[in-house]
Structure 1
């Protein structure tokens, strides 16, 4: 059995790389948002041409990025949402909520310091852990036979 896992979260740090390396022996296929920040921000203009201002540019890109997220989340078996200390993470919250609304199991990774601001989301997640290693332990447990 292979699992398709959507990795929701900010694209500015290497948390996905760390998780993938720790889970390299598991039968898991990972998907997620476009990690090339310039490409993600520019895809709207790439498709529709130059936009008149930064708001129009953002809106054009966000529609295409939302389409990508929606398709990949729908195809996933599980979502992992990472909240770290360093970045504003509205997209992570949106993707985690979308996964829950789609009925996808969700592993929420958040440090103890973010317990309070994420308490409602955490209560709806399947599992909440404090770090990437714990998330990989949960994934690994799914495949254990005894």
Structure 2
């Protein structure tokens, strides 16, 4: 069995500044509007301890029950690099997610790399689709005022 992770890479260009895009990932109020959020779900809990070694818990109630996401922050270099883990089980270390943001014109470009654990390789397409949805939703939310 191959024990190397499957690398999933997605990118999105934003009209917002690199700082604004970066900050959205660590602001609980903003993260609740896009991170692991689905169109039909209802966000129940968003806790973010935005420091290296800190963590997050994001729970959304969906049609088939609660979807919980857990992670730890490994690197925080505002506004260019954010590295964190992602797990559906708080007892597991989880996959490594790297978000890199570069200024591009009057906006920025975000490149996300998900190091998917080998045992979940069959979910690579679904995972890529999920991240594309998240990044597109972030673009929509950045264009809207916070209520």
Question: Which structure ranks higher in relative contact order (CA pairs < 8 Å, sequence separation ≥ 6)?
Answer: 2
TM-score relative to the length of structure 1: 0.25
Larger fraction in helix: 1
Is the radius of gyration larger for structure 1 or structure 2? 1
Larger fraction in strand: 2
TM-score relative to the length of structure 2: 0.25
